[in-house]
Structure 1
Amino acid sequence: MKKTKIAITPDSLGHMGGTRSFLLTLLSLHHKNNIATVLAIQSNQLDKLLLEFCVVKDIEILLLKPRGRLFHKPYFSILYDIYVYLQLQRKVRPSLILASIGSPRLLTGLFFFNTPLIYYVHTYPEMSSRKSKGMDLITKYLVNSKQFVISVSNFSKSVISQYMNVPEKYIDVIYNSVENTNKAVVSTEKKDIILTVGHVEEYKNPNIWYLVAKDVIKEMPSSVFQWVGEGSLLESMREKVKKDRLEKNIVFEGLSNSVNKFYKSATIYFHPSLIESQGIAIAEAMSFGLPCVGSNIGGIPESILDQETGFILNVDDVKGFSEKICLLLKNEKTRNDFGVRGQKLAAEKFSKSTQEEKIMTMYNQILEEVK
């Protein structure tokens, strides 16, 4: 693939989460395989750490104008997509475009063109969202054998097919991956820390999370709930903790560039999201040997195997979440059994080697067809 030039263009890229983890993994894969690569990224999404990463990996960068609020709306979004395509053709002329999507239906305008496309979707339309017939016609009739749609879970695949009218034969599932070199920590010397990693936003269910934390703390006063991540609700949640005088038991850490230290010191991982395509943090937690408690939403049940690597409960089941977390805190053997199984599952299902092999196979298949 030495003569191949691949353009990677992410949209709705955050400072953490599966979309960002995937991008870093993908850029590393390209560097390892000597693939000529251009990262076409909106200027407001290129932070210092990502820039330094691209310099180290010898990744060329093409800065794009930010997608304004207007161009997130149906139909108007296509105009921005066309701008992205024209910039790529004018300055890069790629053999293949990989669009990494962090918000449903963005960059669907790329399906209008003949350049081979991989539309890599890290989320899914909400089941309650209103379908846009005009937008859906794009993916229903324009997707072809040179244009693959990739989902990060079987649940997401089903929803994308139904709500974006993409024929299932053009959708494949490739789970996001995690490092599998982490050793399970089973020491009884750790504090009783219940960890959550992710954006502090409504879709991560912080209100239910907080009620669960208060319930568990009443039962087990030495327990500590940690939430690592930034978001629009971060300060309001910190104020709630302060008002309830629970600063010793509930800590919103904010954004961290070294999340691994939190996984290493945690006892249980808790993930009660309202929306989740896969839940990369769950896979990361399992790779550290943590038992997991999560909601029965989206792709989470594909990551947490109920009563094998953790527990799955209804998204609003405060009592159930609290009881299962307390059960794990009180039962070291169950914690360790779940943790060992979870680490094995992470190594088998969410390994970087599996993800990379599938991506390289897909590249070769698409590019072979256009020779």
Structure 2
Amino acid sequence: MTTHSAAERKTVRIAMNGVTGRMGYRQHLVRSILAIREQGGVPLGDGTVIWPEPVLVGRRPHALRELATRHGLDPEAVSTDLDAVLADPTIDVYFDAQVTLAREEAIGKAIAAGKHIYTEKPTATGLDGALALARQARDAGIKHGVVQDKLFLPGLLKLKRLVEGGFFGEILSVRGEFGYWVFEGDWQEAQRPSWNYRAQDGGGIVVDMFPHWEYVLHELFGRVETVQALATTHIPRRWDEAGEAYDATADDSAYGIFQLAGGTVAQINSSWSVRVNREELVEFQVDGTEGSAVAGLRGCRAQHRSATPKPVWNPDIPATERFREQWQEVPDNGEFDNGFKAQWELFLRHLVADEPYSWDLLAGARGVQLAELGLRSSAEGRRLDVPELHL
């Protein structure tokens, strides 16, 4: 890390691998790192700021240079040679947003080169590999973080406020609905890359989404102790980016039941073959003895015990109650930044100022573990324990 004049700016050079992909470009480069630069850096509170300096890494040099030029970055600060970038002593952090199959090897190389690590998830294709990376990072003495963006969504931040304020009383259950219809690619272009639907390329909704559910449940409600899942491929044939048909070998839908420490039961449905009939693309309903809430990406509605209506089941007459209107909006009570950017800022403060940070490679390994056990549960048709992980 380089300190500039009068100790006013601390520059952190970040090798960003995978920024030509949808997530790496939109959320991490544009809405996080470039947005941080546009606001003048990350203030440390003592008159100095952290200044991220991205170095774009990937396989297509022309695409990398075009991105750099488009956003006012040095067009020479790009590379298709990851080994050369990792050998550069001026690089402080390695960030990975590649496809999952390429991530584990690249992170291992970066740790061996002494770079700090910040990465998308899943961190590896299996639990053994994820734990090996966490141990390697621990032994190397480097700092490391894993993206856990949904914790920073406005809706879940409001939900967390309710949890911490004791609004629910005893939390009984959590019900989650996630997903939308991803077009097959024949008559309308698919919204997701085709590799997501090929198991041999690291695709599958369990591998993609169960790591998210692990940290959401763990952070807000308690550690996941058991999992019972059914993963399936509802749409067996899709068309790729070139218009060629292919067999979908990865699961596109998963139905999971998770038992949490303390007894709360969570049920989460995840699907890329479901049409949306809810307020947002993901919603969580939390029911407790004193109240309930429904949280999405941005909004959160609550209903206290004292305001709970008393419906009576009667299928012989039309329903007259407007149930959704009986819930109260939880106010913002503050401004919410982009979740990816907010976590980048926390990691940079952890890196430079040694502020606390808990979402490390071990946390990433817990997500890989839950996905692995979820797939195994589906294959074996039974509920499985989720052992607590230790390095």
TM value normalised by structure 1: 0.43
Between Structure 1 and Structure 2, the one with more strand by share is: 2
Q: Which has the higher contact order (CA 8 A, sep 6+)?
A: 2
Structure exhibiting the larger radius of gyration computed from Cα positions: 2
